[in-house]
Amino acid sequence: MPLPKLLITRRVYDSVLDSLSGVFDIQHNQEKDEPLTKPDLMQKLADKDYLLSTVVDRIDEEVLAAAPGLKCIASGAVGTNNIDLKACTDRGIAVTNTPDVLTETTADFAWALLMATARRLTEAEQYLRQGQWKGWSFDQLTGVDVYGSTLGILGMGRIGSAISRRAQGFGMTVLYHNRRPAADEASARYVEKDVLFKESDFVVLVVPYSPQTHHIVAAKELALMKKSACLVNIARGGVVDDKALVQALQSGTIRAAGLDVFEGEPALDPGFLPLSNVVLTPHIASSTRATRGAMMQLAADNLLAHAQGRALLTQVA
């Protein structure tokens, strides 16, 4: 009996590929590791039974229609806003994601951005590299204190809770806003969204992207923030109105921002680039070797489970 056909859209670790070999007839992208255009993706999926995709692969109705034999999509990410889940369900295609394995790593990175933003680390490094440092002074590249300040978390799920736990070591007051209060969050105080933006010294965004959260942070929310406040986005591009944020940073409406995600990434609003009060990183919050390996392997394990008739580990559709 021929092996079921699997498309892997981007390079994965050799150990992950080895775990799938012998079970699937694999078409991979190990050598080039280049993003697939939509026509390429549709062409490669035409005869496939399985797909291991990434957060940058957009799987919509048109793509699904080009893959009549597709049985299961294993996404190597937590967020699934790039996949039309309803269309998958209508076609009987199972979809899985990779929760939990990246929680602590992503929370660490939220803190890396928060600290870099508070203490102007990237600005200070450029100052040094460009030969501008001529000596010491009291007011040289002064930042703001993290210890004892107020942290606001928009989205108190697994990652939000992990960020909140870390805040206890900094003696911070932690506020959060969700659609509803989190039953198990004793170390943080639930507040309305406007209160969170008004009272926080640092606002960290951890909400999933959806039509309901599109531009959940726009000019109105930015205007509520303290002029000394910093915004950190590790959620998804589109959660923040980037044009409004550029304007807020240019005008001093808020002090600074740390951003790992952007609208339309890998493109980003060019208005960010000349600003010294924004820390920019290329969507790497989960990017440690161990965590990215765990994400790939969980996606692979879901594919193996489906092909072998076992229960899926992390099914979302």
Q: Would residue 283 show up in a list of annotated catalytic residues for this protein?
A: yes
Residue 290: exposure state from Cβ atoms within 10 A (0-12, 13-18, ≥19): exposed
Residue 120 exposed, middle or buried by CB count within 10 Å (0-12, 13-18, 19+): buried
Residue 133 structure tokens: 């440092």
Please give the Cα distance from 110 to 163 (Å, whole number): 7
Q: Are 139 and 164 in contact (CB under 8 A)?
A: no
Give 232-276 as a DSSP string.
Answer: EE-S-TTSB-HHHHHHHHHHTSSSEEEES--TTTTS--GGGTT-T
Amino acid in the structure at residue 11 = R
Q: How far apart are CA 155 and CA 133, in angstroms?
A: 40
Give the residues across from 83 on adjacent strands.
59
| CA dihedral sign of residues 168, 170, 174, 178 | negative
265 has catalytic annotation? yes
d(CA 179, CA 166): 23
For residue 257, CA distances in Å to 83, 188, 202, 213, 296 come to 29, 22, 9, 19, 30
Task: Catalytic residue, from 10, 120, 177, 236: name it.
Answer: 236
Cα gap 64→87, rounded to integer Å:
8
Active site residues: 236, 265, 283
